[in-house]
Amino acid sequence: MTNITPEKTPSPSQPYKLPYKDLIVWQKSIEFASNVIDHAENLASNRKHFRLVEQLEAAATSIPMNIAEGKGRHSTKELKHYLMIARGSLFETMTLLEIFQQKSWIPEKDFLQLTQQAIEISKLITAFHRNLRVES
């Protein structure tokens, strides 16, 4: 008979905290996604570009979602995989924002601010990924 130990049940004095919430990279990715959505809602275009806006929002929100999903997996190898998916979503987001900026749908100063956030997140993802050791 296999002895399976259930996860500890949180006590009222110490509620369970989801492990990804402590990750700075996840916290910064949530902030970035929220900022991107704010900009998407205020595009300076006389047409509504629903498909592009939906793609932008999906890519931006995919960053913290993949970090959280990877953290919830049972192996370091899987976490590393999801971190690279998150990084890809970050680059997809920035590519769309680059197009929006070239079309003058978002101000250049806002684009530069989002770019600085993206660079920081990219560095955090890369460092986190590099520092994880995969068990053989």
Q: Helix 24-40 and helix 76-102: axis angle, to 10°?
A: 30
User: What does the alpha-carbon distance between residue 44 and residue 56 come to, in Å, rounded to a whole number?
Assistant: 15
Confidence of residue 109 (pLDDT cuts 50, 70, 90): very high
User: What does the alpha-carbon distance between residue 121 and residue 94 come to, in Å, rounded to a whole number?
Assistant: 12
Q: What is the pLDDT of residues 28-46, one digit of tens each?
A: 999 999 999 999 988 888 7
The model's pTM: 0.85
Q: Return the residue matching tokens 């004095």.
A: 13
Sequence-distant (≥ 6) Cβ neighbours of residue 58 within 8 angstroms: none
CB atoms within 10 A of CB 129: 18
